[in-house]
Structure 1
Amino acid sequence: MASYELSAFDRFYDVSLVAAIEQVAPCNLNVGFWLRDPNQLIQYPELVTSHPRQDFLWEKTCYEIFIGVKNEDYYREINLSPSQAWQAYQFEEYRYPEDMPPQAAYDIELVQLKRTHYGLNVSIDLGEFMTANNLKWSDLFIGLSAVLDTSKGLHFYAMQHSGPHADFHNKRDWLHTF
């Protein structure tokens, strides 16, 4: 298991966020997000009763996983809400196609999504995505990020921010490899 302290793009230090990622054979990925919010600034969306796919989750508190493929342009984006809603998107290359909402990806399955007292845990099945594209774990690299809606505004957390603007789609900032 690898862990990463995610940093806020705007150097917002009132909330800290750590993410851990673990490959589970043969094709499952487990990710945990741990928040430290001593002043209870985070604003959470209302819980839903099941795990529906919903768009525009990034407009509120939302955790994100980006899955890149070495030497390829295409990638996947997975949005995970503390409401327990989720969505997966497919891109052919950097932010393309430009549809809004983006095109849903149905080659990634949610196994478990659970809001916890410290953050969020998720298990996703990448089997169909990996099989259809003939991928091994060593072909993948992962970006972990979050949009945190606080009483002091939206804040953007990622493994690193290498551009002049917060941009979770920037593959240079996807640091986890297998």
Structure 2
Amino acid sequence: MEPVEDRRWARDLRDTFRCAGALLGLLLLVDHFNGRLTLWRGALWLTLAALLLVVLYPARVRAGEGWLSARGLLRERRVRTDRLVSVRCLDGVSQRLVLRDEFGGRVEIDPVVLVNNPDVWHRLAEDSHKSLASGSLTCGETALRRIAERVERETAETVFRVSGLE
């Protein structure tokens, strides 16, 4: 089977560049109209925009038979989804799904990626069932069930919206 990936990653990356560019443009514009724009202040604003770009940079999530990876700005993390030992949902400012395999692999992704990409979710769900059947997945059945319910709910709402039945 061919690997599947987050279809919205390119759009998210463009949005990240737009946010950083808009911040840089606004800061330079304000400084210019106040007559305070200097080379050093411009460099400071450029650094601030670059920092925003690094913080907002979206992970590129891909999944294949038996694996899931998330490539960030500097490195790629990979986990064997057919050998998972735990799946946890971390709540906070942004919800994260943490997957760990028995080989020490760890991937942290946004659950929205799975909701927006049913094909990525399908790969993960199929392989996590193998982990459950083999007994390696000891923690995380509830988290997976919640994600499954969310994916199914969002998919049904999309079908109703597209067909005009909402």
Normalised TM-score (structure 2)? 0.28
Point out the structure with the larger helix share. 2
Point out the structure with the larger strand share. 1
